[in-house]
Amino acid sequence: MNVLVIGANGQVGKEIIIQLKQTAHQATALVRKKEQVEELKSLGANDVVLGDLEEDFSHAFKNIDTVIFAAGSGGSTGADKTLLIDLWGTKKAVDYAKSSGVTHFIQLSAADSLDVDEESEKMKPYAVAKNMSDFYVEKSDLPYTIVRPGPMNNEKALGKIELHPTRQDHFNDYLITRKDVAQVLVKTIGNKKLLGKSFYIKQGDESIEEAVNKNF
């Protein structure tokens, strides 16, 4: 598969690129700045494309089979950037993917995306953006998978998770490493069992390979 990673310069995005290098997939990294190109190549990207999610980035979708949308505005920006990147950026990516014949759109969402009114005032715009962008993905007619982790950390990968189609606990209990989230996203590529599905993940006792291949 030719995989476009949107948000490749983010913490999860870089992990996705690293892990894609260990597979037969070809990774195209979408980044915003020229100075980010060489690092992404060194991490394993087969190609690096420059593009800004606030502008037209449709050129990045040429010859792409699968899209992983892992972009985020980051915690240091305001609600305006959150809406433009996490919501409107997803909307544009979905539209470009449809026009380009993409066969799988994988959305990195969040465990709190369905509980906007329970979130803190600071995080509420992010939850709104994820809620509405997930809805747009689901209604797009694209073959999709939506992955919803909770708070992520930079600990070493454990390779074991819990995966559920519905949330079992409070969204803040869905702790997981970024490396494990990246592995789940990579294992989702081309997985027909996960097409048209959304699920929640957190650290657990089941191997990632087993978790993403079970029927639910």
Backbone dihedral region of 153: left (phi > 0), alpha (psi from -120 to 50 degrees) or beta? Answer: beta
Catalytic residues: 126
What average pLDDT does this structure show over 111-119?
Answer: 79
Sheet holding 144-149, edge to edge: 47-50, 26-31, 2-6, 66-69, 104-108, 144-149, 197-203, 160-164, 206-207
Residue 192: pLDDT band (50, 70, 90) is very high
Q: Mutual orientation of helices 124-138 and 89-100 as an angle, nearest 10°? A: 20
pLDDT number for residue 93: 98
Per cent of the chain over pLDDT 70 is 98
Distance CA 133, CA 84 (A): 11
pLDDT number for residue 75: 55
Mean model confidence pLDDT for the chain: 94
Query: Which residues of the chain form beta strands (DSSP E)?
Result: 2-6, 26-31, 47-50, 66-69, 104-108, 144-149, 152-153, 160-164, 176-177, 197-203, 206-207
pLDDT number for residue 3: 98
pLDDT tens digits, 1-49 = 999 999 999 999 999 999 999 999 999 999 999 999 999 999 999 999 9
pTM of the predicted structure, to 2 decimals: 0.95
Q: Could you give all domains of the chain from N- to C-terminal order, each with its CATH number?
A: 2-213 (3.40.50.720)
Q: Per-residue pLDDT for 115 more than 90?
A: no
Of 27, 100, 17, 91, the closest CA to residue 58 belongs to 100
Distance CA 215, CA 69 (A): 24
pLDDT tens digits, 68-101 = 999 987 656 678 888 999 999 999 999 999 999 9
pLDDT number for residue 30: 98
pLDDT number for residue 210: 97
Q: Per-residue pLDDT for 174 more than 70?
A: yes
